């Protein structure tokens, strides 16, 4: 039985090691990422939380949609965030904050209009706790978008040895079905707003329910 500590240690070691190669994996899919962001429908004033940002591959797509909105991007790989800061220096991107932190330590409440989990949900050890934290961070009627492009899910035998080692330390339940994800979301006050699951991508958007008025 893999513990959370073992799981997170293996993942962090893997992502810290390959951070300088990560742009080759993701930046080649800029067109598809832009289309995904179009589908999410970002508002120009939105405050966005980008979870598991890595080196910030989705940030350019967000910024194209924002005027006076902002992006807070988090990842628990310090090296990934270090590379992201080189790509998005604060003096040139004042509305982008890049933070090395564990998702479970996030203490934001009612702060974000949109939370995006792009190709990172399988890396959460405790899905229920992760969704709870993200739900708390959303403003009333804020949205959580869980998405990935299908190319990202490589077959296990095609992965290099480092990635195999990291994946072997992930819990067996890491890949949620859509019904399983929606059950957890509903538990934490998030209701389905939009869903697509085709050969190219998966995108699930849930919205935070309005608070009950007394």
Going from N- to C-terminal start, the domains of the chain cover 4-208
Instruction: Write down the pLDDT at residue 160.
Output: 46
User: CATH topology for 4-208?
Assistant: Rossmann fold (3.40.50)
Q: What is the pLDDT of residue 2?
A: 72
- Assigned token pair, 11: 């993942």
Q: Is the pLDDT of residue 173 over 90?
A: no
pTM of the model: 0.86
Q: Please tell me the predicted confidence (pLDDT) of residue 180.
A: 93
Classify residue 85 as exposed, middle or buried by CB count within 10 Å of its CB (0-12, 13-18, 19+): middle
Residue of higher predicted confidence among 63 and 32 = 63
Judge whether residue 171 has pLDDT over 80. Answer: no
**Residues 167, 153: contact at Cβ < 8 Å?**
no
The yes-or-no verdict on residue 162 having pLDDT over 50 is no
pLDDT value of residue 72: 99
Percent of the chain with pLDDT strictly greater than 90: 63
Which tops the pLDDT comparison, 149 or 154? 149
Q: Work out the pLDDT band at 19, boundaries 50, 70, 90.
A: low
């Amino acid at each position: 039985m893999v513990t959370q500590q073992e799981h997170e240690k293996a993942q962090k070691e893997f992502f810290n090691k390959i951070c300088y190669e990560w742009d080759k994996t993701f930046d080649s899919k800029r067109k598809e990422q832009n289309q995904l962001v179009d589908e999410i429908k970002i508002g120009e004033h939105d405050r966005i939380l980008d979870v598991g940002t890595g080196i910030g591959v989705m940030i350019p797509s967000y910024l194209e949609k924002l005027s006076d909105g902002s992006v807070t991007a988090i990842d628990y790989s310090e090296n990934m965030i270090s590379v992201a800061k080189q790509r998005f220096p604060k003096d040139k991107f004042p509305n982008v904050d890049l933070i090395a932190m564990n998702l479970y330590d996030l203490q934001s409440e009612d702060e974000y209009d949109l939370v995006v989990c792009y190709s990172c949900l399988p890396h959460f050890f405790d899905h229920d706790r992760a969704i709870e934290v993200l739900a708390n961070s959303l403003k009333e009627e804020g949205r959580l978008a869980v998405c990935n492009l299908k190319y990202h899910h490589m077959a296990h035998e095609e992965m290099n040895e480092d990635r195999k080692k990291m994946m072997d330390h992930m819990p067996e339940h890491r890949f949620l079905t859509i019904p399983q994800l929606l059950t957890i979301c509903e538990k934490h006050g998030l209701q389905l707003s939009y869903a697509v699951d085709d050969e190219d991508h998966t995108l699930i958007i849930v919205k935070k329910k309005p608070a009950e008025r007394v």
